[in-house]
Structures are given as C-alpha cells and as structure tokens.
Amino acid sequence: MLRIGNIKLESNVILAPMSGVTDRPFRKLVRSFGAGLVVSEMIASHSVMSETQESFRKAHCDPSDFPASVQIAGCDPQLMANAAKKNRDLGASVIDINYGCPVKKVINGHAGSAMMKDEDHAVRVLEAVVNAVDIPVTVKMRTGWDDTNRNAPSLAKKAENVGIKMVTVHGRTRCQFYKGKADWKFIRTVKDNVTIPVIANGDINNFADAKQCLADSGADGVMIGRGCYGKPWFIHQTNHYLNTGEELPDPTLEEQYHILRDHYQAMIDFYGEENGIRIARKHVGWYSNGLHGSAEFRNKAMRMSRSEDVLNIIDEFYGSLLHST
Ligand SMILES: Cc1cc2nc3c(=O)[nH]c(=O)nc-3n(C[C@H](O)[C@H](O)[C@H](O)COP(=O)(O)O)c2cc1C
C-alpha cells in the first residue's frame, strides 16, 4: 500500500495535475471512481498570497476530497512556505511542488522545471515548505533540464533528505517538452537512489503501458494525465488491472452519457454559465471522441453559448446513438 508520510493511499494510481483540466469538478469525478490521489492544477505561489479568486478556485477542496493534493509553483522559499501554509489552512492534505512545468512564462519566473537547474536553491525551497506545514510535502519533477543534465536522481535524494515524502518523475527533460517518449527506464535510477515512494509519469494511455511503466521504472505507482481525457474512470480501471490482471470494461454508452451530463452540469455550477461553457468544451469533445457522428456534434456544441442548449444537444446526440444500438 502506497503511503505519503502518514497518509495511506487506497490505490497507487494517481491523477496528474493538469492546468485547465484537473479542476475541482474533474478531480471530484475521478476520485468518485476510486483514484488513489488527485492533484490540483498548478497554482503560482504569488497568486496564492495575493488571494486571487483564481487561486482559491484552483485550490478549492473540502474534507470529502481527502486526500487532496494541492500543487504550488514558485522560486522564493518564504513565498512558497506561506503559500503552502495557506493551502493547508484551506483544506489541502498534501502539498505538491512543481519542478516540472516547461512553459516559458513559468521558466522565466525561475519556477517549474527551471528549478532543476540549481539544485541547492531547489532544495532550499523544498526545505522551507516542509518546515512550514504539518502535512506531507511531495515534489513533481522532470528527468532534468536537457539530455546532458538529467539530475532527477540527485535532486530526488536531496529532496528526501530535507523531508519530502514522495517524488513523481515525468520521464522527459524540460527541453523535450512533450516530444519523444517518456523514458520510464531512467526513472529506475531515481527509484534506486531514494527510499521514499517514487511515482512514474508520462505516456500511460492503456493498461499495458501502466504495467510496462512499472516494470521498467520499478516505481511504487503511476501517475496518469492525458490518458484520462474524457475517461475519468481510467485511473480506477488501471489500478484494478495492476492489482488483478482483469481489464474492466468502460462504462456503457448510457452510463457515459450520464457521466458527461453530470460532469457538464458540475462545471457550469462551479464556474458559472459564461466561464463554465468555455471551460467545459474540451471535456465534451474528449468524451465524444471516436463516437459515430461526433465531429458534427462537437462542431455544433462548440458554437453554443448557453449551457441549456449544450445539454440538449448532448441528450440528442447520445439519445440517437442509444436508440440505434
Ligand atoms: C494540459 C496540461 C496541463 C498540465 N499542467 C500541469 C500542471 O499544472 N502541473 C504539473 O506538474 N504538470 C502539468 N502537466 C504535466 C502532466 O502532469 C504530466 O506530467 C504530463 O502530461 C505527462 O503525463 P501524461 O503523458 O500521462 O499526460 C500538464 C500537462 C498537460 C497536458
């Protein structure tokens, strides 16, 4: 059984943090299917401390979400420590630190994967956060900055030494962004260097990937991001497969219809009509991907500006598919 400090996880398959995707409605839904842990979207430490509405929205969790991991990003030890404290007070049960984000805006602020370039400074930030809160602190990193600087094993060891309770490694360097293939075998060199749990991440899109990733990396668990697009049940299926070898079927089309409808309504309730419609579009697209006539359905749904109309077209689209089967 996977443990993060004093927290026992029910499964060793974790939902990856994804900005613009793993918001509260999605995390709640994935948890309801049985994910070991779900992680919030990255929140910049300075926006936590300026108490922006967006940072509250991203961090939002309540006791029923336990264990809820909230991810913060930044490079200033004090600011990061304060941001961690604030999120702990808002209900986070784990603080995750982002040392993996490759995007320019974050890198230019010396945060995300840029932190891997200066290990001493990276460790100072980790230490400040660990000392600031009484809940487990974890870190998510890449394998390194580029092919000649794959320092995840050494940074992970230093992280362990200052009290970090789990390390997740996305098996790419920063300079790869999302290109190429995640190097699951390299993650084994991190696993061999620490005693805290190591989670392997990157390119797990089916059950065989998950099994192979664990075999290659020797990791204690896997984290899945894009493989969950339109499939909030995938984390649970993967965990079941890894434990039993049994491939659970996807929910029936009728069940998927209800999951999408409820998820859509939850997004509208959470964000309000205007933002909700915009943010929900990608999910509507993902759920319907591959279904007969989905391109036309998506085209129409994407242009709609009232949630009621979108719900009606969802009813129509799934209704006609269900009648024709
Ligand atoms: C749209 C999107 C947003 C992401 N946002 C974050 C983030 O906020 N924090 C983070 O640590 N990683 C973020 N990531 C990286 C993922 O957590 C994960 O490491 C990466 O997608 C590889 O895993 P996958 O192949 O299972 O998707 C993001 C990835 C995507 C595709």
pLDDT tens track for 140-162: 999 999 999 999 999 999 999 99
Q: In the structure, what pLDDT confidence band is assigned to residue 59 with cuts at 50, 70 and 90?
A: confident
Can you give the pLDDT at residue 309? 98
Per DSSP, 324 falls in state T
pLDDT of residue 47: 87
- Give the C-alpha distances (Å, rounded to integers) separating 211 from 14, 127, 146, 206, 207: 14, 33, 27, 9, 6
Assess whether pLDDT exceeds 90 at residue 49. no
| Phi and psi at residue 265, to the nearest 5° | -65, -40
Question: Candidates 3.40.50.300, 3.30.70.20, 3.20.20.70, 3.40.50.2300; correct CATH number of 3-244?
Answer: 3.20.20.70
Distances (CA, A) of 237 to 155, 218, 224, 234, 243: 32, 20, 12, 5, 10
- 91-129 residues labelled b (16+ CB within 10 A) or e (exposed): ebbbbbbbbbbbeeebbebebbbbbbbeeeebbbbbbbb
202 φ/ψ sector (left φ>0, alpha ψ -120 to 50, else beta): left
Of 149, 227, 230, residue with least CA distance to 186: 149
pLDDT at 305 over 90: yes
Give the Cα separation of 208 and 241 in Å (integer): 9
**How many angstroms is it from 324 CA to the middle of ligand 1?**
37
Kindly report whether the global pTM for this prediction surpasses the value 0.95.
yes
Q: Give the ligand 1 atom nearest the CA of 168.
A: 19
Sequence spans of domains, the chain: 3-244, 253-323
Mean pLDDT of 75-83: 96
Q: How far is the CA of 320 from the centre of ligand 1 (A)?
A: 35
* Residue 224 near ligand 1, beta carbon < 6 Å: yes
Cis peptide before 67 (omega within 30 of 0): yes
Which range (32-41, 44-53, 290-299) has the least confidence? 44-53
Residue 171 CB less than 6 A away from ligand 1 = no
| Residue 135 phi, psi dihedral angles, 5° rounding | -120, 160
* Distance of CA 237 from the midpoint of ligand 1 (Å): 20
* 311 burial level (CB within 10 Å; 0-12, 13-18, 19+): middle
Q: How far is the CA of 141 from the centre of ligand 1 (A)?
A: 11
Rounded to whole angstroms, the Cα distance separating 27 from 29 reads 5
Q: pLDDT tens digits for 226-284?
A: 999 999 999 999 999 999 999 999 999 999 999 999 999 999 999 999 999 999 999 99
Beta bridge partners of 167: 139, 198
Residue 39: predicted pLDDT:
96
Alpha-carbon distance 15 to 31, whole Å?
A: 9
Residue 325 CA to ligand 1 center (angstroms) comes to 36
Residue 325 has pLDDT above 80, yes or no: no
The residue-averaged pLDDT of 162-185 equals 97
In a mutational test of the pocket of ligand 1, which residue from 18, 30, 231 has the highest number of ligand atoms less than 8 Å from its CB?
A: 18
Task: Please give the CATH number for the structural domain made up of 253-323.
Answer: 1.10.1200.80
| Ligand 1 near 204 CB (within 6 A) | yes
Mean of the pLDDT values across residues 214-235? 98
Six-digit token pair at 305? 């500006």
Catalytic residue among 61, 75, 101, 228: 101
Backbone φ, ψ for residue 43 (5° rounding): -125, 125
- The span from the CA of 202 to the CA of 268, in Å, is 30
What average pLDDT does this structure show over 163-190? 97
Report the pLDDT value the prediction gives residue 324, as an integer from 0 to 100: 87
* pLDDT value of position 283: 98
pLDDT of residue 56: 86
Find the 90 Cα to ligand 1 centroid distance in Å.
24
Ligand 1 and 42: CB distance under 6 A: yes
The minimum-distance atom of ligand 1 relative to the CA of 226 is: 27
Does position 66 have pLDDT exceeding 90, yes or no? no
Closest CA to 167 of 210, 205, 137: 137
Q: In this structure, what token pair is assigned to residue 248? A: 């659970």
Does residue 101 carry a catalytic annotation?
A: yes
Q: Does ligand 1 come within 6 angstroms of the Cβ of 69?
A: no
Is the CB of residue 129 below 6 angstroms from any atom belonging to ligand 1? no
For tokens 């995840």, the residue is 152
Q: Whose alpha carbon is nearest atom 5 of ligand 1? A: 18
98 lines ligand 1 (CB under 6 A): yes
Q: Is the pLDDT at 57 greater than 90, yes or no?
A: no
Q: Are 97 and 129 in contact (CB under 8 A)?
A: yes
Q: For all residues of the chain together, what is the average pLDDT?
A: 96
The answer to whether 3-244 and 253-323 have equal CATH topology is no
Task: Work out which ligand 1 atom sits closest to the CA atom of 41.
Answer: 8
